[in-house]
Amino acid sequence: MKLLLMFYFLGMSFFGYFLAPQKSKAESIKNGSEIYHDFCYRCHGINGVGQDDLIPPLKSSDYLMNNIDLSIAGLKYGLKGKITVNGIVYDSYMAYQGLDNDEIADVMNYILNQWENINEGFITAQQVEKIPKSILEK
């Protein structure tokens, strides 16, 4: 009986490991918060408001909220040239920040759900993986 129980628990932890659901949205946002404060806030600001006409805001940014794939691509490959955010044209450059797909997903989930931003979706590393550089070339 003891042996059976042992196999049962071993089996459960085995399946638990492989079938475990991916991290929750709340966990992703929590990781994303750390990434934001390490990599992004020095430019986009602690409240996501950006800096004058030099750095675009993330808070209530129509670019971010309406172009999620483009925003992911910007983080994955770097973003250069003219973009319009809330009616203001920025013509600047954001370097690739060295984040992997999982980290990009986490920081996207964070910025999409901070500072009054609300997004029902959940960005995953698999989704980030699929975004090609070509969508940035207009």
Q: How many residues bind ligand HEC (CB under 6 A)?
A: 29
Say how far apart CA 63 and CA 70 lie, in whole Å. Answer: 9
Binder to ligand HEC among 30, 31, 43, 60 (CB under 6 A)?
A: 43
48 binds ligand HEC (CB under 6 A): no
Taking alpha carbons only, the member of 64, 44, 62, 41 closest to residue 54 is 44
Nearer to ligand HEC, 23 or 76 (CB): 76
CB of 99 to ligand HEC, least distance (A): 6
Q: Considering the rule CB under 6 A, would residue 29 count as an interface residue with ligand HEC?
A: no
62 touches 68 (CB < 8 A)? no
Distance between CA 14 and CA 12 in Å, rounded?
A: 5
121 touching ligand HEC, by CB under 6 A: no
52 or 120, CB closer to ligand HEC? 52
CB atoms within 10 A of CB 73: 21
12-16: long-range pairs with CB below 8 Å, 24+: none
Interface with ligand HEC includes 39 (CB under 6 A)? yes
> Are 40 and 97 within 8 A, CB to CB?
yes
Interacting residue ranges for ligand HEC, rule: CB under 6 A: 39-40, 42-44, 55-58, 61, 63-64, 71, 74-75, 79-81, 83, 85, 90-94, 97, 99, 107, 111
